[in-house]
Amino acid sequence: MERFKNILVATSPGRLDPPTLRAAVSLADINDARLTVLDVVPPLPAWRKKMNVEGRVIDIEAAMLHDREERLRHVLGNTQGGPGTEVIETVGEPFIEVIRRVLIEGHDLVMVGEPAAERPAEPHLSSGVMHLLRKCPVPVWVMRSGRSGTGRVLALVDPDPDDPVRDGLNDLIMELATSLAHRQDWELLVGPAWTLAGEAALRSSPYVGLPGEMVDVMVRDTEAIGLRQLEMLAIRHVAKSERSIHMVAGAPGTVLPRLAERLDVDLVVMGTVGRTGLRGLIIGNTAETILRSVRCSVLAVKPEGFVTPVKPQRQPHRDSKESA
């Protein structure tokens, strides 16, 4: 995790809670990293920004910014944010301002808090956090509150030596998960999913006509190839004695969230880009399904070459240093 030297904690579009801030402060301290806390206030309509009351002009927007900054400073004081923590208040669309800040200031990690789902059986990510996960060019760490720590991190990978973009993303996932496991003294788990493409048709189609025993051989061969590819990926990052592999058969969007739940992990590290389109790399349906289904924290990364659609445009803001 030493790669993170310029960390941004976003109070919006999620929320700033003490566990998220404590984790960010700890990571910044370990990495000797710069730490910034950004709070974004949605803009008010022009006619509501200021009001004239008995000859006195009340700047409502400025008052809101001041109130939120002071509340944020109080939270920082209670979580030992440190004298070097930069506090920024700005106005705009929250996820856009977070990404603009990343582009302008070169942040290499965004951390955002997300409250636990009201119904534990139905995980939820707010629309603002999903926008960040789709469009932010640097890793996004979504911190889930209300879960007890088990000391387990699960790396979700999909080895494919014939796809350099995907395999590069797998290397990044393994690098981050391994580094985090070592630093936090956590258990490292690696969880790929595998399937035989077209198995249902091969077994049941009257137009194919393959014996079931032959399809069984193809299934076993597919699993064996997947395991070899996984071992080739894992050995580049960590010794066998320092990780455990949990291959599961089935559609990734279905079986991987179940795996994370069964293993009771604290954190899932995964890629969020699934394919290439005319506008560049975009989030894949499988990745989005997994993100919406897991109940633990998620560290989501994108491959080299991802370009965000958000343009760097500096917005007026108030920033200051957290007082000791």
Integer angstrom CA distances of residue 308 from 16, 66, 170, 227, 304: 24, 31, 20, 34, 12
Q: Residue 83: what pLDDT?
A: 63
pLDDT digits (tens, 9 = 90+) for 157-173: 998 888 888 888 999 99
CA distance 57 to 261: 55
Residue 222 near residue 249 (C-beta atoms within 8 A): no
Place of tokens 């343009």: 311
CA distance 134 to 198: 29
Residue 186 near residue 158 (C-beta atoms within 8 A): no
Reduced to 3 states (helix: H, G, I; strand: E, B; else coil), residue 266 is coil
- Tell me if 54 is assigned to some domain: yes
Same domain flag for 207 and 238: yes
Same domain flag for 17 and 52: yes
Same domain flag for 121 and 236: no
Reduced to 3 states (helix: H, G, I; strand: E, B; else coil), residue 140 is strand
Same domain flag for 271 and 159: yes
CA distance 211 to 200: 13
Residue 147 near residue 182 (C-beta atoms within 8 A): no
- Tell me if 80 is assigned to some domain: yes
Q: Residue 44: what pLDDT?
A: 80
Q: Residue 14: what pLDDT?
A: 45
Q: Residue 162: what pLDDT?
A: 85
CA distance 109 to 101: 11
Q: Residue 30: which domain range?
A: 1-137+308-324
Amino acid at 38: L
Domain count, the chain: 2
CA distance 207 to 200: 12
- Tell me if 143 is assigned to some domain: no
- Tell me if 142 is assigned to some domain: no
Same domain flag for 158 and 126: no
pLDDT digits (tens, 9 = 90+) for 216-265: 999 999 999 999 999 999 999 998 889 999 999 999 999 999 999 999 99
Same domain flag for 300 and 156: yes
Same domain flag for 214 and 189: yes
1 CB-near residues (< 8 Å, 6+ apart): 27, 30, 31, 176, 179, 180, 183
- Tell me if 257 is assigned to some domain: yes
Same domain flag for 152 and 300: yes
Q: What is the pTM of this model?
A: 0.85
Report the CATH number that the domain containing residue 214 is assigned in CATH. 3.40.50.620
Q: Residue 80: what pLDDT?
A: 61
CA distance 114 to 117: 9
Same domain flag for 190 and 215: yes
Integer angstrom CA distances of residue 184 from 146, 149, 179, 267: 19, 11, 9, 12
- Tell me if 162 is assigned to some domain: yes
Same domain flag for 210 and 179: yes
Same domain flag for 221 and 294: yes
- Tell me if 278 is assigned to some domain: yes
> CA geometry: angle at 211 spanning 205 and 213, to 5°?
125
Q: Residue 225: what pLDDT?
A: 95
Among 10, 24, 28, CA closest to 79:
24
Integer angstrom CA distances of residue 176 from 50, 144, 190, 269: 47, 18, 12, 8
Same domain flag for 244 and 228: yes
Digitized pLDDT (tens) for each residue of the chain, 324 residues in all: 567 999 999 985 445 677 888 888 888 888 889 999 998 888 888 777 888 888 888 888 888 888 877 777 777 776 665 667 888 888 888 899 999 999 999 999 999 988 765 555 556 678 888 889 989 999 999 988 766 677 899 999 998 888 888 888 999 999 999 998 988 889 999 999 999 999 999 999 988 888 999 999 999 999 999 999 999 999 999 988 899 999 999 999 999 999 999 999 999 999 987 554 434 444 567 888 898 889 899 999 988 888 888 988 755 555 555 443
152 CB-near residues (< 8 Å, 6+ apart): 186, 187, 189, 263, 264, 265, 266, 267
Among 298, 8, 17, CA closest to 146:
17
Place of tokens 């035989």: 196
How do beta strands 267-271 and 297-301 pair?
parallel
- Tell me if 172 is assigned to some domain: yes
